[in-house]
Amino acid sequence: MVTLSYLHILYIALILVMLVLMAFRKSIVLPCVAGILIIGLAASQSAIGGIQALFNALVWSGGEFWGVIAVISLVVAMSKALSALGADALMIRPFSRYMKSRSVTFLLLGFVMFAVSICIWPSPAVALVGAVILPLALETGIPVVWAAVAMNLFGHGMALSGDFFVQGAPTITAKAADTTVGALMRESVVLWAVMAVVTATVAFIMFRRDVKGLPPVKVERAAVSAEKPQPAAVAIAIATPVAFLLDVIFMLSFKLQGGDATALVGGTALLILVAATCVNGGVMKAFDKVIEHLKAGFGFGIDIFTPVIFIGGFFFLGGADGAKAVLGSDTGIMNDIGLYLAQNVPISRVPVVIAEALAGFVTGLDGSGFSGLPIVGATAATFAQALPINKEMLAALGQIVTIWVDGGTLIPWAVIPVAAICGVRPEELVRKNLLPVCSGLAATILVACILV
């Protein structure tokens, strides 16, 4: 029989405080630092032990996330090199020739945003698609707010909530849930597909209703660009998608998942970065340019993951590995809490699914990106100790809810990049997103209640 000590009660109280703060849209980095110190002091019964726990928790958390930080940074650095060469525009501009009507433009703009985002993440994709495809899309007469909706839902929603290629989001969630990345991604596919299909369908129906009374627009474009692209840019524009397509084939053929798949993507991105830089001005200039692109890429990666490392440092204390590395404990605090709930509190599947979804929603209110993933992963692991449920699917539900809210599509300050590049107000974009995203979330939660 598991009994809860004052350490467990203290940990639960700290989590509740953080959830309340997040509900009020406050950053929880400082509370997490305080929480690590408090738990360290309580576990070690010494001031020195508490201070050491602060550093050890961050080192442990940073080590767990380093692979994800590196691959995302390399992919962003690669996108900088492609942009400098002009190869990025060449890769996506051919899609513009099919933009002949508003409906096709909406779907094609979303598809291009999804394809680019799932390979290089939504943040750099917004700038690329916004600069190259958006002006051509607007020529078809599509309202600019609906262009923003397509980019936002397909990029920051669909692409980022699955993140099947770069695997940043599932890696963070899986580590907190104490499971493998491959298992979590497999179990996430159904829920991700439900969320994506329902959201896109509702958004498209609303879009069709809004543009129904608008007069048709005749689109005429020159067949050939006035400026002839560099042969090197054309070569890299062809080589880049081919290289990543080969990565996907290798992943499927050799069953590469998790760290192995991440390493393949990261290595490919680095090779493309070097190749694009070398052909853009010569090898001698590449000595300096490569480091410039790498600095930009890793600056982006560290900027995104700094709060995640601190938040993960606190929530990893709940798992057995984190507790052992930082506190010297044999069992994780959250594991004990889960077993206690299983033995003493009658809980069922549906309330657990709803609680996981609520945790994802609340932790997504700060709009910072990935900060809620360690929390929903740890929450799923706790519930799995109390009930015979599909832990990976439950964690995937939390990930999907968190990213759709936090990544984001429902928080005004999270949609600013898309809103800014499209020239619409964030509040207006969120209003258009609200019904499609909420419909998708409701359908996904319902399916999770059945399958988990």
Domain ranges in the chain? 6-212+229-451
Average pLDDT over residues 325-332: 76
Distance from C-alpha of 134 to C-alpha of 194, rounded to nearest angstrom: 27
User: What's the pLDDT score for residue 367?
Assistant: 59
Mean pLDDT of 144-171: 93
Give me the half-sphere count of Cα atoms (radius 13 Å) on the Cβ side of residue 219: 19
pLDDT of amino acid 281: 85
Q: How many CB atoms lie within 10 A of CB 222?
A: 6
* 65 CB-side CA count, 13 A: 30
pLDDT tier at 167, thresholds 50, 70, 90? confident
Tell me the C-alpha distance between 449 and 446, whole Å.
5
Question: What is the per-residue pLDDT for 400?
Answer: 96
Is the pLDDT at 336 greater than 90? The verdict is no
Provide the pLDDT for residue 114: 95
Instruction: Identify the band that residue 77 occupies on the pLDDT scale cut at 50, 70 and 90.
Output: very high
Mean pLDDT over residues 68-89, rounded? Answer: 89
How far is 306 from 50, CA to CA, in rounded Å?
Answer: 21
pLDDT value at position 208? 95
pLDDT of residue 357: 92
pLDDT of 225 strictly over 60 = no
Q: What average pLDDT is seen over the chain?
A: 87
* Stronger pLDDT, 15 or 370, i.e. the higher one: 15
